[in-house]
Amino acid sequence: MLKAQMTYGALRTKVMAMYGKMLAGDDWQSLGACRGLTEICAFLRNHRGWRATLAGLPLLPTEEVLAAAVRRRCYVDYEKLYGFLPSGDKRLLRFLLCRAEYAFILAAVRERNRLESLPKSLELTDFVRKNSEVDFDALERSANFQAVLGAVRGSLFEAPLRMLKPDQDTGWPDFREVGIALESAYFKTVFSYIVKKYKGLGRKKLADTFGLEADLLNITGLLRLHRSFPASLPQARELLLPVSCRLNPKLLLALTEAGTEGEAWDIIGRSPFGGCLQETDPDHIEDFYYKSLERIGRRLLRAPEPDFSAALGLVILQELECKKLNRVIEAVSGGCA
């Protein structure tokens, strides 16, 4: 136990050092005030947490190249953490790489009819390729669903994808069904590993964290159904992730049977998730998920117990930082900042 605490203590030191290099409140204000990509790049080149990322880019990169470099940054930081982890936690971090697999599979299905000017595989690092069971190059070249299945052979996503029924005319399964199948497989597999096989410290905290993230995704999904697909609400249970923490059957039923989206928001406000609504704009449903997840990440970083949760909190916050930065880049490039 003492040895494990010392190891996790060293990991926490590394985590906090990396956290200290993330973009802070004033940084976001400065980025939002930028008048173009040139100013964004100039700011990032002078920021201690991002100058290394910008150093590998042309002096004036395109929006597409800059966005890809931002997404790649998450995978670079994964590798930095990996070297500090105990052997049992290394597998847990490799599970997190399944998020990259998930994103690439979705892109292969969604963008099959669009010629990409920039290969998505440029976002990957050698570390991701080495620790993945997905053939990313074959996935990127896939011209049909059978090719996608071949590229994911042996991964945790192969079985759920094979269960989908492709459309007879297009040969591809429904995009929404693909997303549901991938998310369900990911959360079910990771949650099962933590509960049944994980031997590190803080197992319950980790299980609760993944359960809460699944809760947030399910609530966000229900709100989307209320807003855009109310006729699908009776089948809502079939669309939800098979993992939960605080989204109990009573609350789930109440959200499903709410007469309007406004009633659903009111129910959430009276639930254990109500504290997340104070900073959420109901016009932007995703705000509820992102801001709630950010609170979870910061809480994990502040936890006094030395365990893997601090690293997980950092991963959560870094992924959110990269997504937020790419939204700023898109807005500034489009003149919407």
DSSP collapsed to 3 states, the chain? CHHHHHHHHHHHHHHHHHHCCCCCHHHHHHHHCCCCHHHHHHHHHCCCCCHHHHHCCCCCCCHHHHHHHHHHHHHHHHHHHHCCCCHHHHHHHHHHCHHHHHHHHHHHHHCCCCCCCCCHHHHCCHHHHHCCCCCHHHHHHCCCHHHHHHHCCCCCCHHHHHCCCCCCCCCCCCHHHHHHHHHHHHHHHHHHHHHHCCCCCCHHHHHHHHHHHHHHHHHHHHHHHHHHCHHHHHHHHHHCCCCCCCCCHHHHHHHHHCCCHHHHHHHHHCCCCHHHHCCCCCCCHHHHHHHHHHHHHHHHHHCCCCCCHHHHHHHHHHHHHHHHHHHHHHHHHCCCC
pLDDT digits (tens, 9 = 90+) for 105-133: 998 888 655 445 567 778 899 999 999 99
What is the share, in percent, of the chain residues with pLDDT greater than 90? 67
Residues 116, 64 contacting (CB under 8 angstroms): no
pLDDT of the residue at 86: 83
Task: Say which CATH architecture domain 87-199 belongs to.
Answer: Up-down Bundle (1.20)
pLDDT digits (tens, 9 = 90+) for 254-312: 999 999 999 999 999 999 888 877 667 777 888 888 989 999 999 999 888 778 889 99
pLDDT digits (tens, 9 = 90+) for 202-254: 899 999 999 999 999 999 999 999 999 999 899 888 889 999 999 999 999 99
pLDDT of the residue at 5: 67
pLDDT of the residue at 99: 87
Give the domain 203-304 fold: V-type ATP synthase subunit C fold (1.20.1690)
Domain coordinates in residue numbering, the chain: 1-86, 87-199, 203-304
pLDDT digits (tens, 9 = 90+) for 176-190: 899 999 999 999 999
pLDDT of the residue at 160: 96
Give the global pTM.
0.89
